[in-house]
Structure 1
Amino acid sequence: MRDHGIGHIVGTILDAPENASVVKELKEHAREAGFKAGYNECLSHVNPFYKSKFTDERSGFHGVDTKALYAAAVDTYNNLSISAIDDIEEFLEAENYVDRLRLLYDYPEEEETASGSKEDAGTSGTKED
């Protein structure tokens, strides 16, 4: 588990479709909010030099509440349910949690050492009371 398991579990969580889609949306809304804020910042610097005032009417974000969209995306990410994490939580409640996690993530068999024991950091794969 120590050699292969944690990295594999983390990869599974990060590559989960649920995570990928929400992170993509979060990045898009953060970018849009940044563009709108930058556009408005630019207008605040340019307008003092001209008699007529420039507005964000030509911007693609005119009338769009990018901050609210970003906040909603952050909220969605914070409340995200990833099936891989749900499976891990379920299996950790079982007595043979290590074996179940190995089945879930299809770990390669650990090689036996010269002494004939497996290198499993002393875990038998079951919980002791």
Structure 2
Amino acid sequence: MRDHGIAHIVETILDAPENMTAVNEIKERAWQAGFKAGYNECLTHVNPLFKSGFTDERSGFHGIDIEAVYAAAVDAYNNLSISAIEDIEKCLEAEDYVDRLRLLFDRPGEEDEAAGDAKNDAGTSGTKVD
């Protein structure tokens, strides 16, 4: 657990469906905001050249405040509740938190070290001391 536990915890959080969905939402909204900004930037260059009044009416983002939609996606991500983090917090509240974290994050087939047999004299009893 000591050698690979943090990596397991990080992978679990990053691969959590809640996190992946929220990150994909942000990526999509950021792409849309960038597309709209690029489209509008293009119009500012084209209009003087052709001395006409091209608008964004034909754009799929005409009349949509995509920047607000993007900001809402970022806000939703910042307030995201990830069940893996809640599970970790529950484990940390328990007196035998190391054993509980092992149960959550040890992968089958990996060596289980006894709590006091950690490498480099970095042992732990596996229980909290107040």
Decide: shared fold, TM above 0.5: yes
2:112: which partner in 1? 110
The Cα of 1:106 is off from its aligned counterpart by 3.0
User: Is 1:38 paired with 2:38?
Assistant: yes
How does 1:40-55 map onto structure 2 within 5 Å?
Answer: 40-55=40-55
Does 2:125 match 1:124?
A: yes
Unaligned runs of 5+ in 2: none
Q: Which moved more, 1:23-32 or 1:50-59?
A: 50-59
CA distance in 2 between counterparts of 1:122 and 1:33 reads 50
Matches of 1:69 and 1:45, distance apart in 2: 26
1:123 deviates by 0.7
Q: Cα offset for 1:111?
A: 4.8
Structure 1 runs of 4+ with >6 Å offset: none
1:51-100 CA distances to partner (integer Å, 9 max, x unpaired)?
A: 32110111111111110110000000000000000010111011100000
Residues 91-117 of structure 1: CA distance to partner in whole angstroms, max 9, x if unpaired? Answer: 1011100000111123433357xxxx6
Inter-partner Cα distance in structure 2 for 1:111 and 1:61: 56
With the length of structure 1 as denominator, give the TM-score of the two structures: 0.90
Q: Is the 8 A contact 2:97 2:127 kept in 1?
A: yes
1-structure distance, mates of 2:111, 2:51: 75
Gaps of 5+ in 1: none
Q: Distance in 1 between matches of 2:73 and 2:95?
A: 38
1:118 counterpart letter in structure 2: D
- Whether the aligned pair in 1 keeps the contact of 2:8 and 2:106 (CA below 8 Å) is no
Size of the aligned set, in residue pairs, is 125
| Residue identity opposite 1:28 in structure 2 | E
Q: Counterparts of 2:117 and 2:2 in 1: how far apart (Å)?
A: 12
The percent of aligned pairs where both chains have the same amino acid is 74
Could you tell me the TM-score, scaled by structure 2's length? 0.89
Give distance in 2, aligned partners of 1:109 and 1:103: 13
